[in-house]
Structure 1
């Protein structure tokens, strides 16, 4: 007898997404990109500070400050654009998952004996169906992109510390 492999909770959620599943994966990719872009303005801020310190007190020789400032603004706008795309994709997918979960739950409930709803109460059943599918929608639409960014940003920072100065990279790993 062959043992059936249990599906992960995420894979089970994605089974409710249908063809909208791809939007969840796009959301994850867009969240990673926006997490990287969130760090980039600080790189250009550092470049501005280095240039100002290097030419002090003759600030007229600081010729790249405006360019670096615009790059920081561009990356900030890129962060916002990719974050918006991530949230738009995650919401579309999450709404589909919640809708399909409700349909599946209600179909299952409709097949139960009539006494089941009398025992528990129809209000409690409605509340459970509504609240739990709503919690799932909240996780997929909001928490998943936030979690992806919360993982991406520290990794990007550690890589940048190593690129900037290996001592910063080692120190950041020790502090973990």
Structure 2
């Protein structure tokens, strides 16, 4: 099993399989536009713009489970991400990342890469780095800035991508 086995809903309501991202390096992030860590959207967008031509994509999953910092509906969330933060990377419908209604993708991610204090997601902007084969490589805490992940992304997009060209 890998992340390509999961279906998700885009922020626009379209069903999509993550198999569409097969062969790419991914950074999966639970986001919230009203969170104090929301300035990380800038760093995530910069990663996406810098590396998208090399087979890298950021996937944003809005979540309202942490102090209700993503209260709007999917349309409002998308508008805030695009207008306020300039996000162009793919966004998906709001999901739960903890509890009984946890999205199956996040059940899998947490099982594959538990956190420092257990497998639960502790806050917005927890990040999961996925290799080109759909395997979870590393989990990053909410306070790990996107800039601090660059070397790990470059390592994953480097040799396999260059060899495939």
Report the TM range for the smaller structure's normalisation: under 0.3
Structure 1 or 2, whichever has the larger Rg, is 1
Alignment TM-score, normalising by the size of structure 1:
0.25
Which is strand-richer, 1 or 2? 2
Larger helix proportion of the pair: 1
